Structure 1
Amino acid sequence: MAKQKTVITCAVTGAIHTPTMSDALPYTYDDIATQAIDAAEAGASILHLHARNNETGAPSVDPEDFKPFLGRIKQATDAVVNISTGGSLTLSIQDRINPAATFSAEMCSMNMGSMNFSFHPLAKRYDDWKFDWEKDYVANSDGNIFRNTFRDIKEAATTLAPHDIKFEHECYDVGHLYNLKFCVDIGLFKAPIFIQFVMGILGGIGADIENLVFMKKTADKLFGDSYRWSVLAAGSAQTPLAAAAAQMGGHVRVGLEDSLFISRGVLAESNAQQVAKVRKIIEELGCEVATPDEAREILGLKGGDRVNF
Structure 2
Amino acid sequence: MARKVIISCAVTGSIHTPSMSPHLPVTPDEIAEQAIAAAEAGAAILHLHARDPQNGRPSADPAVFMRFLPLIKQATDAVINITTGGSSLMTLEERLAAALAAEPEMCSCNMGSMNFGLFPALDKRKDWKHEWEPQMLEATRAGIFRNTFADIEGILKRLGVDCGTRFEFECYDVGHLYNLAHFRDRGLVSGPIFVQFVFGVLGGIGADPENLMHMKRIADKLFGSDYHFSVLAAGRHQMPIASMAAAMGGNVRVGLEDSLYIAPGELAKSNAEQVRRIRTILEGLSLEIATPAEAREILALKGADRVAF
| Fold shared, TM-score > 0.5 on shorter chain | yes
SS at match of 1:146: coil
Structure 2 residue aligned with 1:197:
197
- The alpha carbon displacement at 1:138 in A equals 1.2
Q: What's 2:150 paired with?
A: 151
Q: Which amino acid aligns with 1:201?
A: V
Residue identity matched to 1:186: R
Deviations 1:78-135 (A, max 9, x none): 0000000011213322221121111010000000000000110101211111112111
Partner of 1:65: helix, strand, or coil?
A: helix
- Larger deviation: 124-133 or 215-224? 124-133
Question: C-alpha offsets along residues 193-245 of structure 1, whole Å, 9 cap, x if unaligned?
Answer: 10000001100001111100110010010011111110000011100111111
Does the aligned pair in 2 maintain the 1:198–1:233 contact within 8 Å? yes
Q: Which residue of 2 aligns with 1:297?
A: 297
Say yes or no: does 1:45 pair with 2:57: no
Q: Deviations over 1:4-54 (max 9, x none)?
A: 000000000000000000001001111000000000000000000000001
CA distance in 1, matches of 2:64, 2:19: 20
Partner of 1:58: 57
Return the alpha-carbon distance in structure 1 between the equivalents of residues 267 and 288 of structure 2.
27
The answer for the alignment partner of 1:171 in structure 2 is 171
Q: CA separation in 1, counterparts of 2:182 and 2:49?
A: 28
SS of 2:188's partner is coil
Q: Deviations along 1:277-308, whole A, 9 cap, x unmatched?
A: 00000001000100000000111111111111
**Any idea what SS the aligned residue of 1:256 has?**
coil
Contact 1:114 1:147 in 2 (8 A): yes
Match of 1:5 in 2: 4
Report the secondary structure of 2:249's partner residue. Answer: coil
2:84 aligned with 1:85: yes
For residues 132 and 26 of structure 2, the distance between their equivalents in structure 1, rounded to whole angstroms, comes to 14
**Displacement, 1:3?**
4.2
Contact 1:3-1:287 within 8 A present in 2 as well:
no
User: Counterpart of 1:28?
Assistant: 27
Tell me the CA shift for residue 139 of structure 1: 2.2
One-letter amino acid of the structure 1 residue matched with residue 291 of structure 2: T
Partner residue, 1:242: 242
- Can you list the C-alpha shifts for 1:58-94, whole angstroms capped at 9, x where unaligned? 0011101100100100110000000000112133222
RMSD of equivalent CA atoms: 0.9
Aligned residues: 308
- 1:68 corresponds in structure 2 to 67
Whole-angstrom distance in 1 between the partners of 2:183 and 2:127: 45
Moved more, 184-193 or 169-178: 184-193
The alignment partner of 1:269 has SS state of coil
Question: What amino acid maps onto 1:128 in structure 2?
Answer: D
SS at match of 1:115: coil
Match of 1:274 in 2: 274
Give the conservation status (yes or no) of the 8 Å contact 1:197–1:231: yes
CA contact (8 A) 1:6 1:287 kept: yes
TM-score (norm 1): 0.98
Q: Which AA in structure 2 matches 1:280?
A: T
Counterpart-to-counterpart distance in 2, 1:213 and 1:125: 31
Query: CA shift at 1:140, angstroms?
Result: 2.4
Determine the structure 1 residue equivalent to 2:251.
251
1:58 & 1:300 partners in 2: Cα distance? 34
Q: SS where residue 151 of structure 1 aligns?
A: helix
Q: Detail structure 1 runs of 4+ shifted over 3 Å in the superposition.
A: none
> 2:90, 2:261 → 1: CA distance?
29
- The amino acid across from 1:267 in the alignment is L
**Whole-angstrom distance in 1 between the partners of 2:202 and 2:265:** 20
State the alpha-carbon separation in 1 of the partners of residues 135 and 53 from structure 2.
19
Report the 3-state secondary structure (helix = DSSP H, G, I; strand = E; otherwise coil) of the residue aligned with 2:191.
coil
SS in 2 for 1:109: strand
Amino acid at match of 2:50: A
Q: What is residue 105 of structure 2 aligned with on the other side? A: 106
The percentage of counterpart residues that share the same residue type is 58
Q: Which runs of 5+ in 2 are unaligned?
A: none
Alpha-carbon distance in 1 for matches of 2:47, 2:10 = 5
Deviation digits for residues 117-164 of structure 1 (CA, Å, limit 9, x no counterpart): 011010121111111211111122111100000000001111112211
Contact 1:197 1:215 in 2 (8 A): yes
Q: Give, in whole Å, the separation in 2 of the partners of 1:65 and 1:87.
A: 13
